[in-house]
Structure 1
């Protein structure tokens, strides 16, 4: 796997401490008193980038699904979004816009909240521009139309910069915005095809068109994982235009890790996520059924909701697993974290047909000290080397065998737990987070230059980010 390339940001820890104390650095950063309670995601050392980008930019932001307006209201009130374990991607965009003194037009997939209080001086405005669902050829036509709609919105609003976090599939029509002088930064949170295989003929054709258009438009692309970065390079984007970010977490997560004794047995398996067939939940239930008779102490808990929840419950009943396989449904953040912390092993069985961009739940498990078993279609394994093991996606027999091996060797779980402690610093290094990478990408897009110098994650020293 290629080494992740990270552009350098100065390590100015003294300035970070001044900002945390509310000194001159905080005022220069453009944060109001209300916003100062939320966790800072932009590191010290970006002043030169902010100065080059200038004040008063007009930005069009197209986020993915989720309550980004709710995140905005919490961020404005000085709070992190409690419904999201990691620091919200949209909150990092809001902080960057505030640092730049920019006006931000947000085009949401969910309708804006009608009764949300509005401030006439508010630099952030929300409007509904949903992606259109479909299947077959109609799906592709709707994606193309939606990308053109975003390009028209950029022209209509006079946006100087588009930040697109929405996975369009067909990104090439968005390049039309460049004809009006708009710069493009694409934040890819999904792969173009499943990580464990190469592209099919249609995916290659769409990828080639995306790569050509985005390259000609001078777009910068920030990927959620190394696997997605490799796909971005494969469709023809230049290496200097493609970056990777790492999810960031608030300071309380830093102290969440707990050690695991070498002889502690594996008794509790947990799945946390959407209950859908392509997420591999039926493979996991089948593997558990194969282990249940020989291991009466073993329990499995599904944390999450989805369209296949009732079908999965029925399958568990049919397999005689009532009382052994539990279904908690959707849980709020604190409750989910508590259930995850009690697990002996997180299982992330994403199937071979699902294009996973990263998967953050195994990261959160690692921060808690919980080992994880992942299918080979889950890209976050590259960030968690030693803290996870993998099995073949879609192969319930291989999954069963891997769980059985871990039951027989509890010391392996303790070793994975110890590896997780060694890896955690990168999830608190704000230079590697989305906000910092967006700032650098926008700077490069406006300057029309290559990004340099480059450093690998292995050689770039970590920063203990100041809490807000």
Structure 2
């Protein structure tokens, strides 16, 4: 069997170097999808070709595997040029699939799924992987976006073999665009090793200060300026015991830093920049709660930070914008999307009500096993589809 895997922008070559030694990629917290792909190929004695969108162009070959980094064309453009680049990229991808004489394509690199409808015509099965919602869950769908997803309708309703989906929110949107005539949808979860969280210490019983952790891109649609508004509110109310820690980089880092200085929040709103895995473990150990304030105009994936907060035994504050909520709701304080006042209230509730905080912590422990078991992993979901064909 010959399988092409369309991966994302990660360092799959580095993951392979660890996989062949029987190791997980140490740079990642979750078990990588590419590592699971290598496992599937090994179990099937299949030959694999991985195409990533990594910006460093490179081709690597070893044993039964070829890994090619192929950046997406015109990815920095907008409007029609952006979509032209995506279509051209998919057409070039199809040429590679045909030259490789693939039997199966898994994963996907762009949202132009309708181009992949060409593959079943020449006998190549396709199983896309949907990691993100197809459009922002609470935002109105523009006419252009509706037209775009109409182009993709046939692929999801007739042409693909099955669909791998990371969340119920994705399922609902696929059913919507296919008028409830989608090909079989198989769900999977992010998978973790217990060792990744073994060194995270219990949250301090001392609540002065009370540490709130944000991890992710520093962008407006990730809600970082909403957190700044919450910090300003606490400062105005004389609440000095709550400290925000933001771990990550992004295009709004400099602006955020300027505003932190402008409002005199340096002591209570700390920008740590990019943190490596060991540093993130320290930040989880320091924290009391994790907050994920993604705004409703963002095309959200599962958002692993929600899950990782639960695995670290930290209550999480987020909204239904994050699809992960459905899997860990009991450990979460759910607030309305985009409501920074409600985010502030949720922090104060966890800060002041120890019984409520402990209840959420206990729920964290009860919900963890589903993410440590590989029975719901991407690799097992893919194998379940292949066994039925």
Deviation at 1:147, TM superposition (A): 2.3
Deviations 1:305-339, CA, capped at 9 Å, x for gaps:
12211111111111110122111111111221221
Match of 1:284 among 227, 232, 236: 227
Deviation at 1:276, TM superposition (A): 1.4
Counterpart residue number, 1:186: 128
Q: Which secondary structure does the structure 1 equivalent of 2:368 belong to? A: helix
Q: 1 CA distance for matches of 2:101 and 2:4?
A: 9
**Are positions 1:390 and 2:334 aligned together?**
yes
Q: Deviations over 1:369-389 (max 9, x none)?
A: 101101331111111021012
Aligned counterpart, 1:343: 287
1:89 partnered with 2:89:
no
Structure 2 residue 361 is matched with structure 1 residue 417: yes
CA offsets, 1:214-254, max 9 Å, x none?
A: 32214311111111121111111645611110111113247
Q: How far has the Cα of 1:259 moved from its partner?
A: 6.2
Residue by residue over 1:131-168, the C-alpha shift from the partner in whole angstroms, topping out at 9 and shown as x without a partner, is 231211222222222222222221121110001243x2
| TM-superposed deviation, 1:202 | 2.7
Root mean square deviation, CA, Å: 2.3
Q: Give 2:384's aligned residue.
A: 440
CA deviation string 1:56-113 (max 9, x = no partner): x111111011111111111112211111111011111111011111111111212567
**Deviation beyond 6 Å, 4+ runs, structure 1:** 256-263
Q: Aligned residue for 1:207?
A: 149
State the distance in 2 between where 1:239 and 1:174 align: 16
TM-score between both structures, scaled by the size of structure 1: 0.77
Per the alignment, in what secondary structure is the counterpart of residue 329 of structure 2? coil
Aligned to 2:313: 369
- Taking the aligned partners of 1:439 and 1:296, their CA distance within structure 2 comes to 52
Distance in 2 between residues matched to 1:273 and 1:289, nearest whole Å: 21
- Quote the offset at 1:124 in angstroms: 0.8
Contact 2:50 2:67 in 1 (8 A): yes
Q: Which runs of 5+ in 2 are unaligned?
A: none
Aligned to 2:253: 309
Q: Which residue of 1 aligns with 2:269?
A: 325
Quote the residue 2:65 is aligned against. Answer: 124
Structure 2 match to 1:66? 10
Query: Aligned residues, how many?
Result: 385
Match of 1:5 in 2: none
**Alpha-carbon spacing, 1:396–1:79, altered in 2? closer, same or farther (3 Å):** same
Per the TM alignment, residue 284 of structure 1 is displaced from its structure 2 partner at its CA by 0.9
Deviation for aligned residue 1:199: 3.4
1:173 to 115, 119, 134: 115
Kindly tell me: are residues 422 and 439 of structure 1, through their superposed partners in 2, closer, same or farther at Cα, counting changes over 3 Å? same
Q: Is the 1:185–1:442 Cα contact (8 Å) retained in structure 2?
A: no
Go from structure 1 to structure 2 and tell me whether the alpha carbon gap of 1:173 and 1:165 turns closer, same or farther (over 3 Å shift).
closer
TM normalised by structure 2 equals: 0.92
Give the Cα separation in 1 of the matches to 2:356 and 2:84: 49
Tell which has more relative contact order, 1 or 2 (C-alpha 8 A, sep 6+).
Answer: 1
- 1:404 lines up with 2:345 in the alignment: no
User: Counterpart of 2:189?
Assistant: 246
Taking the aligned partners of 2:140 and 2:328, their CA distance within structure 1 comes to 23
Contact 1:263–1:411 (CA<8 Å) still a contact in 2?
Answer: no
